[in-house]
Amino acid sequence: MTPSRKFAVILLAALAGAAVTAFSVRAQLQGQPGAPPPVVAGLPPVNRNLIVLDPAHGAGDGGAVLGDHVLEKDITLAIASRLKAALAADGFNVVTTRDTGGSDLLSADQRAETANRAHPVACIVLHATATGSGVHIYTSPLPPPPAPNQTTNTPPVFVPIPWETAQAVFVGQSHDLATGLSTALSKDHLPALVGQAPIRPLDNLMCPAVAIELAPLPAPGVGATQPTDASYQQQVANALAAAIQAWRAQRWPQ
Amino acid sequence: MIPRYQRVFFWILAGAILLMALFLLRGCEQAREKLTRHRDETPIAAPVATPSQSVQLALADDADGSIVMVQRDVALPAESTARAHALLARLIAEYSYKTSAHPIESGPAVDDVFLLDLPLHPAIATGARTPRTSSAQPAQSAGSQVPASQLAVVNLHGTFADHHPSGIEAETLTVESIVGTLYANFPRIEQVRFLVDGQPRETLNGHADLLRTYPVLNTATRPAQGNH
């Protein structure tokens, strides 16, 4: 055997060994609890360091009126800035759909477009209200898509994702995120309520998405703490940031 | 001494005031006659005594985000759309009580309720491509007694939507309360759509989506999970 043939044989053996090792590692990862969920076919990989915050309302749409003529749009913006700072401290990159300088009102579709272009690890829609109590966490009421049939050997076909039900693919992950946030808030003595709500743009978001609604915090003897309270906003923002960090570490380990 | 011309002027003014008062009174009488002349108080339908019957209302509670089915005795008309309208009016009236767990301002809430048989376009739904003159078999035989499922279109008053408490929880509970009440009392209704003042509207008052078609579900069995 000539030296060149020997070299070719060694090279082929090395390539085969590398392929076998890669397949075995992949199979082990898929079987492990806590491994990253499979990437959805046809979608680019998510940016695990990116969070999209959507402070609801804005410009001419003030939203609800809370307390002493305070508009919901101003409260959601304040919570978003606090949450953004807390997430940035944890190493996240944060994109917000509007900021203090924004004067144009974005439609729900435009907000969803902004989020979907970024491929974030999670999307948080922020609201505030004067009714109810504690922190309300909502996910989309869309049913999850049916599981693909594994027995048939038909080749995969391109199926476009409808805009109105784009969130369906991520509903399971959104529920996990909502449960994680609820648990973290409860540990911080903040009452949390988890449910499903038909609000836009949740159904159009292509990422694990929840809507957080800040309601008055019941305090025995001294009356309820309103969502306009800065310390209440900060407490919620800190709890949410820590919960998102823990959820990402579990679902999307490095 | 008052000059004569001033006394004459005074009496002329007094007379003019009197004439104007008489003219005004006469005008008022004529207007009242005109209004009452065309009022027809002839009864056109005999009053029907409707017995009270037990209905179920899906009542919302803001405290824990839940919806509970409760029974009420209500006198309802027999005709379906009028019945649905009266039932939803009663449901919203429950929320206007001071002790309500889901307070909403009192006032007219539901303008109309329309019940439409599904599918709305049978030819499209069955995929029929044959012309009307063809002898193709209809999708459902004429003798079939299976009642069609229905779409309920609830037309809300604009003032009700504008003054509804703004928030995800409050608005979602109102929508689910309406859907749950229709589910409990109208078994043929499968879907619900909402209009406000006869027009599609994006949200109830900034949050709950009113552009989608809601499947009719038993919302009382799906309370929000609470940790408190």
- ipTM metric: 0.78
pLDDT of res. A154: 65
Of A71 and B119, more confident: A71
- pLDDT value at A89 more than 60: yes
- pLDDT value at A153 more than 90: no
Lowest mean per-residue pLDDT among A155-159, A242-246, B154-158: A155-159
pLDDT grade for A36, boundaries at 50, 70 and 90: very low
pLDDT grade for B2, boundaries at 50, 70 and 90: confident
Q: Give me the residue label for tokens 């209004």.
A: B35
Of B162 and A252, more confident: B162
Q: Averaged over B77-95, what is the pLDDT? A: 92
Interface contact B203-A61, CB threshold 8 A: no
Q: What is the 3-state secondary structure (H, E, C) of chain A?
A: CCHHHHHHHHHHHHHHHHHHHHHHHHHHHHHCCCCCCCCCCCCCCCEEEEEEEEECCECCECCCEECCCEEHHHHHHHHHHHHHHHHHHCCCEEEECCCCCCCCCCCHHHHHHHHHHHCEEEEEEEEECCCCCCEEEEECCCCCCCCCCCCCCCCCCCCCCCHHHHHHHHHHHHHHHHHHHHHHHHHCCCCEEEEECCECCHHHCCCCEEEEEECCECCCCCCCECCCCHHHHHHHHHHHHHHHHHHHHHHCCC
Q: Could you tell me which chain A residue has the CA closest to the CA of B223? A: A195
Q: Any residues with CB less than 8 A from the CB of B17 and at least 6 apart, and which?
A: none
pLDDT of res. A3: 65
Which chain A residues are Cβ-neighbours of B205 within 8 angstroms?
A: 64
Supply A227's token pair: 């969502």
Cα–Cα distance between A52 and A34 in angstroms, integer?
23
Interface contact A195-B65, CB threshold 8 A: yes
pLDDT grade for A38, boundaries at 50, 70 and 90: very low
pLDDT tens digits for A125-146?
Answer: 999 999 889 999 999 999 888 7
Q: Could you tell me which chain A residue has the CA closest to the CA of B162? A: A64
Interface contact B167-A134, CB threshold 8 A: no
Q: Give me the residue label for tokens 């759309």.
A: B81
Q: Smallest CA–CA separation between A182 and chain B, in Å?
A: 8
Q: What's the half-sphere exposure (Cβ side, CA atoms, 13 Å) at B39?
A: 6
Q: Quick check: pTM over 0.80? A: no
Cα–Cα distance between B220 and B168 in angstroms, integer?
18
pLDDT tens digits for A211-240?
Answer: 999 999 988 777 889 999 999 999 999 999
Supply B203's token pair: 């949200």
Residue A185, burial from CB neighbour count under 10 angstroms (0-12, 13-18, 19+): buried
pLDDT of res. A79: 95
Q: Smallest CA–CA separation between A86 and chain B, in Å?
A: 24
Query: Which chain B residues touch A if contact means CB-CB below 8 Å?
Result: 62-65, 165-170, 172, 175, 202-203, 205-209, 212, 214, 224-228
Domains of chain A plus CATH, in order, are: 44-143+165-251 (3.40.630.40)
pLDDT of res. B94: 92
Domain assignments of chain B as residue spans, ordered by start = 1-30, 52-124+148-221
Q: Could you tell me which chain A residue has the CA closest to the CA of B212? A: A198
pLDDT of res. B225: 42
pLDDT grade for B136, boundaries at 50, 70 and 90: very low
Which chain B residues are Cβ-neighbours of A127 within 8 angstroms?
A: 167-168, 207
Asked if residue A120 lies in contact with residue A51, where contact means CB atoms within 8 angstroms, the answer is yes
pLDDT tens digits for B32-45?
Answer: 888 877 766 676 76
Which chain B residues are Cβ-neighbours of A64 within 8 angstroms?
A: 165-167, 205-206
Residue B80, burial from CB neighbour count under 10 angstroms (0-12, 13-18, 19+): middle
Cα–Cα distance between B36 and B40 in angstroms, integer?
9
SS3 B178: helix
pLDDT of res. B145: 64
Average pLDDT of the residues of chain A: 83
Which chain A residues are Cβ-neighbours of B209 within 8 angstroms?
A: 198-200
Interface contact A132-B63, CB threshold 8 A: yes
Of A57, A127, A182, the CB nearest to B168: A127
Cα–Cα distance between A117 and A100 in angstroms, integer?
22
Cα–Cα distance between A204 and A125 in angstroms, integer?
12
Interface contact B208-A195, CB threshold 8 A: no
Query: Which chain A residues touch B if contact means CB-CB below 8 Å?
Result: 57, 61, 63-65, 72, 108, 127, 129-134, 136, 138, 164, 182-183, 185-186, 191-200, 211, 213, 215
